[in-house]
Amino acid sequence: MDIYCQVCGEPWDYYGARHGGDLDKTEYLALIDGTGCPSCNGGASPPEETPFRAELTSALLSILGDDHDGVLAMLEDMEYIGEY
């Protein structure tokens, strides 16, 4: 399952980012905290260009907090029904 950068919307495999060595600990924490990922280096995009996936991930993380499994499940549901 993918988790999306809250800045640029880049998809990251959750297991690879968290446990598999795709990201180091600092990069993973930045991804989860919403300050960016290695793809965008935290460079904020203009509001009119913010991908819907990025906004959705940000909203779900703010609602569900540390429940990353819940966030991933909801993102997968949204992808399944084709909302983004």
Considering its fold, how many domains does the chain have in total? 1
Q: What is the pLDDT of residue 57?
A: 85
pLDDT attached to residue 66: 81
Instruction: Tell me the mean pLDDT per 10 residues along the chain, length 84.
Output: 85 88 89 88 64 83 86 83 65
Identify the domain containing residue 53 by its residue range.
2-81
Evaluate if pTM is beyond 0.85. Answer: no
Phi-psi label, residue 37: left if phi above 0, alpha if psi -120 to 50, beta otherwise: beta
Alpha helix stretches (DSSP H) within 40-83:
52-64, 68-81
